A and B are shown apart, each in its own frame.
Chain A
Amino acid sequence: MFSVHKQGDVTIIELEGSIDGKTAPQIREDIRPALDETQKAVLDLTKVVYLSSAGLRLLLLVYREFTARNGKLVLAGVSPDIQAVMSHTGFITFFTLVADKERALEAIGGPAK
């Protein structure tokens, strides 16, 4: 489950539910078009209840692809539990994490006014 909306030149993608080995490949296909046409993106994980190892790998892959073409991507609304897992497994060091959508817009340079 996901939804996409734009705020200025920033694409905000809200993900929902579980991101695991089963859902990750589909999610990647689903969000690819939205990411392909922007340089600034926020992945909002506020409604993600479970993020497995494969889920973390999906995020890292997306992040790597995006930043490789000089895009800016931040993660917002990562729950404390998921943050702890990301921290213990070292994944957290690769991402920019912010508390919520508003902070994400600040961190990324905000929508062009």
Chain B
Amino acid sequence: MTESRIDYYPTHEHSGFKYRRGHTLPFGAHIVSSGVNFSVFSSSATSCTLVLFRKHEAEPVVEIEFPQEFRIGDVYSMIVFDLETEELEYGYRFDGPWNPASGLRFDRNKVVCDPYAKVIGGRDIWREAPDWNHAHQHRGRLAFDDFDWEYDRPLEVPTEDLVLYEAHVRGFTADPSSGVSAPGTFAGLREKIPYLKELGINAIELLPIFEFDEWENSRKHPETGEWLLNYWGYSTLGFFAPKAGYAATGRFGMQVDELKTLVKELHKAGIEVILDVVFNHTAEGDHRGPTISFRGIDDRTYYILTPEGYYYNFSGCGNTLNCNHPVVRNMVLDCLRYWAAEYHIDGFRFDLASILGRDQNGAPLSNPPLLESLAYDPVLSKCKLIAEAWDAGGLYQVGSFPAYGRWAEWNGKYRDSARKFLKGEPGLVGEISTRIQGSPDLYYYRGPQASVNFITCHDGFTLRDLFSYNNKHNEANGENNNDGGNDNESWNCGWEGETDDPGVNQMRRRLAKNAICLLMLSRGIPMLLMGDEIGHTQSGNNNAYCHDDELGWLDWSGVSKNREMLRFTAGMIHFRREHPVLRGRKFFEHRDTAGSGFPDISFHGTHAWQPDFSGGSRCIAFRLDGAHAKAPDQSIYVAMNMFWDGLPCSLPGPGEGKVWKVVVNTSMPGPDDFYSAADAPVLHDQHNVIVGPRSILVLIADQK
């Protein structure tokens, strides 16, 4: 019957290309029966022309101006028939006034990229030098949406059960030591799934994978001559297109299939996929930047502009996307729905998310429509939504980000207090005991799963460097060490940088283990940084955004060199995942609601039941009662002594008919630093222990 529909026949013809009026929605370019439907929005253009290219060719095959009757409202749409979909690239020319002060920057000499392009050509192979003379660097292509997902769908792991692993797709396997067949790609990452599974994480958070230009702001280091690139990719060209250069098959235009295959295989291994998304700005920069897409289509709709028509810079990257404009808001929604539905993405982490809560003049909103829409969206209802709850314009909303019962946050306060506590600063005991509980001071009405706990992330020192450097060493970035944060709360343990001193190295290892231990025992969602489990170093660089080299790549020889750290980290992750008492959905009530004779959580010091919260204290212990866990569990006792000497601690009881067994003692070298449940030795003295200097001891209550 389909052949009998009249809308499958062209009504117009131009240079041999047949076309007719199209469907206004959805926006973008879609393959329809016998043709391709193009639809694009501009509120102020006077005309629009569809420009079609053969793949890679400089000159267009044809340009078709949208007849005025094809425009409905502000939307231009048309169906072009008999196109060779695989070989097609497209863009638009918009005609209209040039008046930057009013946010009008039309230039019909430029071919701009469709904001809804599902595939973007132009950077097909990572780091392949572009032809800068090419007038149209980034062009839309078509995506097939017929991927065979079989029985897959997003995993919907309860938020409080997640263990996140933050990774850079390229950096994870680009180094030859990774031993994968397609280094630095989605396919390469897929080959490492067994490693991730063994480590025990159940969610991977990928640094930006939307199409970006690694050559943006690229330069050579004045002294070393090394290329410095836009390696991290926090600068989006198109919100619907995966990064072609991250796909081994990008050269064949098959990045969509490759990424979907990665997601499907991660899901089979029980690992969720969370995307780091950057909706705060685009790759077009400020008024001096290139016209790639948004600026040439509808400048004043897509960007927050000053009254003079310049770009507000709340992102620190030149421009600010106008997220609470209804049109832009819909684009963000369409985008996330697309990734959730078409790519089965499990959640999103929003870079500089506070910008999403600013109005069209930049002022913070108390009830931001975009954040509310995302929280209540029917397609996104099971997605994890995680905010980086601050921006570069001075908004800091950790604990106060508009959450609507849905949003979690990167808990920057957890990071800061954990670092200070771990390096032995006094006066942190009270604060750290709050952080361990999931930060009820910040998230009382939202629950501990609102807190993404982390000590390191891509931004800042790696865990190894955190305890190897007092100061950042960013000279390799070519900015005279002026970039990157200065408030690192790091400690070099007595020597700045690498050393052969066995005492210093032993201390560093121990502090790193303490950090992993603290993270895995805290209520909330723990997040690890890629490589921390095998001692990855950036040689003291705390802002490695531009290093597509050994500095930014994971060195897999760490697996054998730092076997002890890997074993410990994997052990702790598995320990967390085996014990529901560590993963409660609710905050502790500090009383016995289960009739076990113990409160759900109790705090202790060198004397049982007598925690020392005084200003000079560096030691705190707590007991989690298994009877209060969300599923029946054992009780756990943790003593954290960040003092430089060992301290004797008297113990609370393990419960009727139970004995304390040792699971973790970071003062011991491996393999006695961690015992699996089957091997955990019974504690010799059930009433008193010595907790070593700068060490954490974990006991578990088991049957006699």
Contact = CB atoms under 8 A, between A and B. Distances in A.
A90 B84 contact: no
A89 B87 contact: no
A54 B265 CA distance: 22
A22 B253 CA distance: 15
A20 B148 CA distance: 19
Given A85-B249, A88-B247, A89-B254, A53 B261 contact: no
Given A22-B87, A88-B254, A94-B148, 16 more contacts: A20-B86, A21-B84, A21-B85, A22-B84, A52-B252, A54-B85, A57-B144, A57-B146, A85-B252, A88-B247, A89-B249, A89-B257, A89-B258, A90-B148, A90-B260, A91-B257
Contact of B182 (A22, A53, A57, A88): A88
B398 interface: no
Interface string B582-603: 0000000000000000000000
B148 A85 contact: no
Interface in A22-54: 22, 52-54
Interface in B240-259: 247-249, 252-254, 257-258
A53 B88 CA distance: 13
B300 interface: no
A53 B248 contact: no
Contacts of B187: 87-88
Interface of A is mostly: helix
Nearest to B88: A21
A4 interface: no
Contacts of B177: none
B185 to A, nearest CB: 8
Interface string B117-144: 0000000000000000000000000001
A52 B86 CA distance: 8
Using C-beta atoms within 8 Å of the partner chain, give the interface range for chain A: 10 to 19
Contacts of B264: 90
Contacts of B261: 88-90
Given A84-B181, A88-B182, A89-B249, A53 B254 contact: yes
Interface string A8-21: 00000000000011
A98 to B, nearest CB: 21
Contacts of A21: 84-87
Residue in A53, A87, A88 whose Cβ sees the most chain B Cβ within 10 Å: A88
A60 to B, nearest CB: 8
A79 B257 CA distance: 20
A59 B86 CA distance: 16
Contacts of B87: 21-22
14 contacts: A21-B86, A22-B86, A22-B87, A52-B86, A53-B144, A53-B257, A54-B144, A57-B146, A84-B181, A85-B249, A88-B247, A89-B249, A89-B261, A94-B148
Contacts of B265: 90
Contact of A85 (B144, B146, B254): B254
A77 B257 CA distance: 23
Interface string B502-539: 00000000000000000000000000000000000000
B257 to A, nearest CB: 4
B248 to A, nearest CB: 5
Contacts of B148: 60, 90, 94
Interface string A74-101: 0000000000110111110010000000
A60 B248 CA distance: 21
A88 B86 CA distance: 19
Given A85-B252, A88-B182, A89-B249, A53 B258 contact: no
Contacts of A20: 86
